[in-house]
Amino acid sequence: MMRFLLLFSRQGKLRLQKWFTPLPERERKKIVRDMTTLVLARKPRTCNFLHWKDLKIVYKRYASLYFCCALEEQENELLALEILHRYVELLDKYFGNVCELDIIFNFEKAYFILDEFLMGGEVQETSKQSIANSIEASDMLQETMEEYMSKPAF
Amino acid sequence: MPAVSKGDGMRGLAVFISDIRNCKSKEAEIKRINKELANIRSKFKGDKALDGYSKKKYVCKLLFIFLLGHDIDFGHMEAVNLLSSNKYTEKQIGYLFISVLVNSNSDLIRLINNAIKNDLSSRNPTFMNLALHCIANVGSREMAEAFAAEVPRILVAGDTMDSVKQSAALCLLRLNRTSPDLVPMGEWTARVVHLLNDQHLGVVTAATSLITTLAQKNPDDFKTSVSLAVARLSRIVTSASTDLQDYTYYFVAAPWLSVKLLRLLQCYPPPEDAAIRGRLTECLETILNKAQEPPKSKKVQHSNAKNAVLFEAISLIIHHDSEPTLLVRACNQLGQFLQHRETNLRYLALESMCTLASSEFSHEAVKTHIETVINALKTERDVSVRQRAVDLLYAMCDRSNAKQIVAEMLSYLETADYSIREEIVLKVAILAEKYAVDYTWYVDTILNLIRIAGDYVSEEVWYRVIQIVINRDDVQGYAAKTVFEALQAPACHENLVKVGGYILGEFGNLIAGDPRSSPLIQFNLLHSKFHLCSVPTRALLLSAYIKFINLFPEVKGTIQEVLRSDSQLRNADVELQQRAVEYLRLSCIASTDILATVLEEMPPFPERESSILAKLKKKKGPGTVPDPEDNRKERCANINGATNHSSTTANAKASAPSFIGDLLAPVLPPINRPRPVSSLSLLPTPLTPLSLQAYAMPLSPSAGSHFQVSSPASDLLSLGSASTLNSTPPSAPKASASLLVDVFSDNSPTAPIGAPAVVVADENFSRFVCKNNGVLFENQLLQIGLKSEYRQNLGRMYVFYGNKTSTQFHNFTASVVCQDGLNSQLNVHAKPADPMVEGGAQLQQTLNIECLSDFVEAPVLNIQFRYGGILQNISVKLPVTLNKFFQPTEMGSQDFFQRWKQLGAPQQEVQKIFKAMYSMDSEVTKAKIIGFGVALLDGVDPNPSNFVGAGVIHTKTSQVGCLIRLEPNAQAQMYRLTLRTSRDTVSQRLCDLLSDQF
C-alpha cells in the first residue's frame, strides 16, 4: 500500500498531505521535513525512486509542484509514478489547466478528488471518466453559486 | 463544470487564504491566524446559532490553518455537527475535517460513529461513500468495532452500487490491516473471491487489493482466487487495447488491475492444476513478448505502465522460481533494461536482478551481465542507481568472480559517496572473507579497505580480520609481514595501527628473523605511531608492548624504559596509566615462565556468524540483506566444500530456516575448545581487577577465585554474539598460573563469570504471561523494561536497561543463558549490548528468540556491570513462556466440540481447580485469555459465563493445537481450568502458566 502522499512546492512549502496510516503529528512533520530536503536536493534527470528507511519513495515534479509518495516494500514503483500522473490528470480535468494556486485555494477539492481515486493507500478507481463523473455528480449536489454569493463573507 | 465548482463560494475562505499568502513574514502570518482563530472561536461560542454555511466555512478555515502546520484545539464539535447536515457540501467538509484532524482516541468517536451509521444506512451512494471513506481514513479500533460487521455486508450485498462496493472493499481492507482480530472471516469471504469475476473493472481492482491482503494472512481460505485471477489476467492480457475503454491507460490494458492480479498470484506457489498453470505461463509469455513489440505511443506513461506490468510479471516468475525458461527470459529482459536510456528502468532492472541472482536457475544468467553492472557503477550519475549496482554485485558474487567484484568495489570505494561508503566497506569485507581461497588475498583486501576508507571501517571489520588471522596459522606470517610493510607509510590510518599492533604483538616473532624487521625495528615502528593515536589505540599498543617483552626478551629493556617514562606512568588517562604501571610491574616481578603463560598467543576464536554480516543486516534492516549464498541452493556446494574454511557459509546454510525472514542465523554453539584462562587479551579492556592494592596482598593461593582478567577480555572479539548461549564457567586456572591468580584476584570475592548468580529474580515473571510489555526488574540502580513481539515460532524481545543513577555503569554485559535442556528447545540470540551505560541513560538490547520445541523452563538473563568500582551481578528470569508462541484460531461451536472430542485421551487433558486470586471480573478474564494468546470463542460454551479459547502453539518442529475452557464459580470464588492439547507436556505447562493468572 501507499503510506503517504505529499505535494510540495520547489520552496518546500507543503501543499497537500495525505496519510494512509495514523502517525503522531510530530512524526508527520519530521517525515515532511525529510522528504522535502531529500527530494529537493535531487538533481534533474536522476531517477524517480529512492530508498528511505524501509519505504520506497517515488516522486515526480510537475511544473512548480513535487508529487511524492511512499510505498511499502513490494509495491510497483513504475505504476506509482503513473498514480501520480493520473492524479495530476484528474486535477487538470477538474480545474482546467491546473496550477499550484488552484490547489492552494481549493485544497478541499484536491482532497475530494484524491479520495475518489485512492482509499486506504490503494487505488480505488482508475477510470478517469468514472472519477470525473462522480466529482461532477457531487458538485451538482451543491447549491448554486448565486446562493453562496449572497451569503456574508465573514 | 469548473465554473460552478471553482467558485463554490466560500468567499471568506478565499479572502483568508489570500491574506495569509500576502503575509510578508512568519510573524505576520501567525498574527493573522491568531486573529482568525479568535474570530472563529467567538462565532462558535456566540449566542447566535450559526447556519450550516457559516459552520462549514469556519470549519474549513480551521482545516486550512491546521494544514499550514498550526495546532487546532477546537471546532471538532462543529465539524461533527456538519456530518448530520443534509447538504452534501457541508457533510463533505465535516468528513474531511474529521479525516484529517480527529485522532483515534478522540471522545467524539461515538458521535462520529453515529453519523456514519446513519449515512451507511441512508442508501444514498454518495453519502455511503463519504462514510466509508471516513472509516478508512480514521480507521481506529472503535470504528472497527462498530463497523466490522456492517462493511462486509455492504460489500457483498446484491443491490449495492458498484462505486459503494469499491469503497467498501478498500474500507474493509483498511480495517483488516488495523484490527485484523475484529474482521473475522465468514461466509462473505467466498463471495468476495467472486468479485474477481465482476463486470465492473473498478470493482475488480478494489477487490483484488482486499483479497491479496487477506490471502497473505489466510492463504487456504482464498485458494480459489488463483484460478479466477489467472482467468481474469488472461482476458486482460489478450484483449485489444481498446476493449477495456477507460480502463486502458495510454494503450495499456488495465495496468493497475494486471499488477494487482500478479501480486495476488505471488501469495501462492505455482498452480498445481496443469491447465491453469499453462494458462498462466501463456500470460507471462505474452507479457514478455509485448516488451519486444514496438511501443504504441512515445509517451512515457505508455512505457511506464507497460513496464510496470512487465516488472510485476518478472516478480511473479522469480517468486515461482520454477520455470527455467521464463527465468532466463526475464533475466535477458532485465539485461536489456540495464542499458536502457531511462534511468528509472536501469534502476529497477538492477533491483530486480538482485532477487533473480538468488535463484539457482538464473544465477548464472545474471552473472553474464557483470561487465554492464560494473560499468554502471563507474558511469551512473545518480547515486541511488550506483547503490543498486553495488547491491547487485554483492548478490551476484560467488567464488568464480569474487576477486573481480571485490577489486571493482574497492576501486569504486575511492570515489564513492560518503553516504554509502560504510555499507560498501562491510560488503567488501564479507565477500572477501566468504570467498577467500587464499587468505593472503583476504588480508590484502582488508588492509586495502583500511587504507582507502579507514574512517568507514568499523570495529567489526578489523576485529574480524584479527579473528581470522588468529584462527588460521597459515596466514599469520604473511599478515605480520604485510602489516609491517603497511605501517611503513608515513601516514596510516589509526585502524591500521590497531590491526598492526595486535598482529605484531601476537605474531611479530614470525618475521623477526629478517633483519629488516627485527624486534627493535618492529617496536620502533609501532611506537612511532603511538603519540598520534587516540587513547584506546594507545592502550592496545601498550598491550602489544608487553606481549613483545614475552616474544623478544632482547627488547625488554627498551620497552620497560618506555613504560617507565613519565608520559606513561603519570599519564592523565587513568586507563593508560594503569596499564603502564601494571605491565611494568608484571615485566619486573614475573618469571619468564609465568610471563610466557600469561602472555601466551591468543587461542583460536570459536567460529560463529560473521559479526560483519550481522552489522550489515542491522544497518540495512531485517530481510534486506541475504547472505549472498543463503538462498542459492546447494548448487555450489561442491565448490565451497572444497576448502574447509567456509565454515561460516556452511553454518549459515545449516541454519537455513530464517529468523523472521531476516536470515539472522542463530548463534552457533561454540566449538568446545577449552580456552586457556591465562592468555591476556590485547584488546583495550580496562583491567580493573588488577588494582594496585592487589600487589599489597599476601600472595597466597585462595581457592575458588578465578582469574578475573581474562574471562571478560578474552571474549571481547566475539562481537557477533556477546553472549554465548551455553557458556560454561571458565575452566580452573592451570597450576602454573596459580601464583598469578592471586596477583590478579580481586579483593572481594565475586561470583565467577558465566556461573549463575546468587539469586535469579522472578517476582515479575508471571505478570508477563498474558502481556508482552512492562517492567521486569527494578532495584535502586537499574530498571529493566521489556517489549516483545512474537510471530509463530519466532519472537523478538527488546530489553531496556535504565541506569537510575547519575553515574556510568562500566563493563556492562548482558547475556542470556538457557540452562539444562532448555538450549535444545529454545534458541535465544542476544545482540551485544554497549559496555557503557551513562547515568540516567537507557540502553536497548535486542533478543531474537526461536522456539524449537515445547519447553518448561525459562531462560535467564545475566547482567553484570561495575557501579562505583563494585561488580554488580543481577540475574532475572526472562518471561519467555510457551504460550508466547500461540497463534489464535477462530472456530465455530461445532468445530470446537469435534476437536474437543478428538483430544479425549486422558493424558491429553489437564484440569486444575483453584481459588481466585483476583476479583472475578469477566472483562479482565477475557483480556487475560486473549493476552495468553488464544482466540476467545464466543457462543461456543452453552454456559455464557464460561470462557472458551483455541490456538495453535508453533514450534520449529511441530505445531500443537490447544483448546481451553475456563469455568468460573463466582459463589465459591473458584475456577476450573481444563486444557486439551495433543501433547501432555504442553497441556501441563500451559495449565501451570494460565492458572496463576486469575
Region at A63 (left for phi over 0; alpha for psi -120 to 50; beta for the rest): left
What DSSP string describes B173-210? HHHHHH-GGGS---THHHHHHGGGG-S-HHHHHHHHHH
Task: Return the half-sphere exposure (C-beta side, CA atoms, 13 A cut-off) of residue A154.
Answer: 10
pLDDT tens figures, B239-272 = 876 677 889 999 999 999 999 999 999 999 999 9
Q: Which of B361, B372, B304, B302 is nearest to B329 (CA)?
A: B361
User: B501-510, B747-756, B825-834: lowest mean pLDDT where?
Assistant: B747-756
Q: Report which residue type is found at B619.
A: K
Q: What is the mean pLDDT of residues B711-740?
A: 35
Grid cell of B344 as nine digits? 528509472
Grid cell of B365 as nine digits? 544468467
Region at B614 (left for phi over 0; alpha for psi -120 to 50; beta for the rest): alpha
Q: Which of B727-736, B761-770, B782-791 has the highest mean pLDDT?
A: B782-791
CB contact under 8 A, B126 and A125: no
pLDDT tens figures, B508-547 = 999 998 889 999 999 999 999 998 999 999 999 999 999 9
CB contact under 8 A, B96 and A111: yes
| Residue B43 annotated as part of some ligand binding site | yes
d(CA B990, CA B978): 10
CA B79 remoteness from chain centre: 41
pLDDT at residue B717 greater than cutoff 60: no
Closest residue in B to A96 (Cα) is: B2
**Is residue B32 classed exposed, middle or buried when 0-12, 13-18 and 19+ CB atoms within 10 A define those classes?**
middle
Closest residue in A to B52 (Cα) is: A151
pLDDT of residue B143: 87
Distances in whole angstroms, Cα of residue B904 to Cα of each of B525, B899, B980: 79, 9, 8
Q: Confidence band (pLDDT; 50, 70, 90) for B649? A: very low
Q: List phi, psi (to 5°) of B859.
A: -65, 160
Which residue from A124, A136, A145 is facing B167, i.e. has the nearest CB? A124
Q: Confidence band (pLDDT; 50, 70, 90) for B105? A: low
Which residue from A49, A105, A139 is facing B14, i.e. has the nearest CB? A105
CB contact under 8 A, B621 and A139: no
Q: Is B842 on the interface with A (CB under 8 A)?
A: no
Per-residue pLDDT of chain A (154 residues; tens, 9 = 90+): 999 999 999 999 999 999 998 888 889 999 999 999 999 999 888 899 998 989 999 999 999 999 999 999 889 999 999 999 999 999 999 998 899 999 999 999 999 999 999 999 999 998 888 888 888 777 776 654 445 445 444 4
Contact B828, B862 (CB under 8 A): no
Contacts of B81 (CB under 8 A, 6+ apart): B55, B94
CB atoms within 10 A of CB B560: 16
| Residue B31 annotated as part of some ligand binding site | no
d(CA A16, CA A1): 19
Task: Output DSSP code: residue B458.
Answer: -
pLDDT of residue B621: 55
Grid cell of A134 as nine digits? 462522480
Q: For B353-357, which contacts have Cβ atoms below 8 Å and span 24 or more sequence positions? A: B353/B392, B353/B395, B353/B396, B354/B388, B354/B391, B354/B392, B354/B395, B355/B315, B355/B318, B356/B314, B356/B318, B356/B327, B356/B330, B356/B331, B357/B392, B357/B395, B357/B396
Q: Which of B811, B850, B844 is nearest to B829 (CA)?
A: B850
d(CA B788, CA B883): 13
Region at B245 (left for phi over 0; alpha for psi -120 to 50; beta for the rest): left
Which residue from A78, A135, A148 is facing B9, i.e. has the nearest CB? A148
CB contact under 8 A, A149 and B263: no
State whether residue B801 is helix, strand or coil.
strand
B822 vs B698, more confident:
B822
Q: How far is A40 from chain B (nearest CA, A)?
A: 14
Q: Confidence band (pLDDT; 50, 70, 90) for B608? A: low
CB contact under 8 A, A123 and B166: no
Chain A contacts of B89, Cβ < 8 Å? 141-143
Contact B317, B326 (CB under 8 A): yes
pLDDT at residue B696 greater than cutoff 80: no
Q: What is the mean pLDDT of residues B955-966?
A: 87
pLDDT at residue B731 greater than cutoff 80: no
Q: How many residues does chain B have?
A: 998
Mean pLDDT value across chain B? 81
pLDDT of residue B301: 94
User: A3-17, A138-152, B154-168, B223-237: lowest mean pLDDT where?
Assistant: A138-152
Contacts of B823 (CB under 8 A, 6+ apart): B725, B726
| Residue % of chain B over a pLDDT of 90 | 35
Contact B839, B865 (CB under 8 A): no
Q: List phi, psi (to 5°) of B360.
A: -65, -25
pLDDT at residue B730 greater than cutoff 70: no
Contact B179, B142 (CB under 8 A): no
Chain B contacts of A48, Cβ < 8 Å? 344
Q: Which of B819, B731, B743, B728 is nearest to B591 (CA)?
A: B743
Q: Are strands B782-791 and B774-778 parallel, antiparallel or unpaired?
A: antiparallel
Identify the sign of the CA torsion B888, B893, B895, B901.
positive
Cell 460552478 belongs to residue:
B4
Chain A contacts of B4, Cβ < 8 Å? 139, 142, 144-145
Task: Output DSSP code: residue B582.
Answer: H
Q: Confidence band (pLDDT; 50, 70, 90) for B744? A: very low
pLDDT of residue B39: 92
d(CA B152, CA B163): 15
Cell 468567499 belongs to residue:
B11
CB atoms within 10 A of CB B819: 13
**Is residue B768 classed exposed, middle or buried when 0-12, 13-18 and 19+ CB atoms within 10 A define those classes?**
buried
B862 vs B691, more confident:
B862
| Residue B403 annotated as part of some ligand binding site | no
pLDDT tens figures, B83-93 = 988 788 888 99
B92 vs B698, more confident:
B92
Interface A:B, Cβ pairs < 8 A:
202
Contact B246, A129 (CB under 8 A): yes
pLDDT of residue B106: 65
Q: Is A154 on the interface with B (CB under 8 A)?
A: yes
pLDDT tens figures, B125-141 = 888 999 999 999 888 88
pLDDT of residue A2: 95
| Residue % of chain B over a pLDDT of 70 | 84
Contact B565, B538 (CB under 8 A): no
Following CA atoms B631, B635, B640, B642 in sequence, which dihedral angle do they give, to the nearest 10 degrees?
160
Q: What is the ipTM of this complex?
A: 0.92
CA B789 remoteness from chain centre: 12
H, E, C per residue of B469-528: HHHCCCCHHHHHHHHHHHCCCCCCCHHHHHHHHHHHHHHHHHHCCCHHHCHHHHHHHHHH
Round to the nearest angstrom and report the end-to-end CA distance of chain B: 66
Q: What is the mean pLDDT of residues B751-780?
A: 72
Q: List phi, psi (to 5°) of B761.
A: -75, 135
State whether residue B755 is helix, strand or coil.
coil
d(CA A80, CA A82): 5
State whether residue B73 is helix, strand or coil.
coil
Q: Confidence band (pLDDT; 50, 70, 90) for B60? A: very high
Q: Which of B60, B105, B246, B660 to mutate to test the interface with A (most CBs of A within 10 A)?
A: B246
CB atoms within 10 A of CB B22: 10
| Residue B60 annotated as part of some ligand binding site | yes
CA B280 remoteness from chain centre: 35
d(CA B323, CA B330): 11
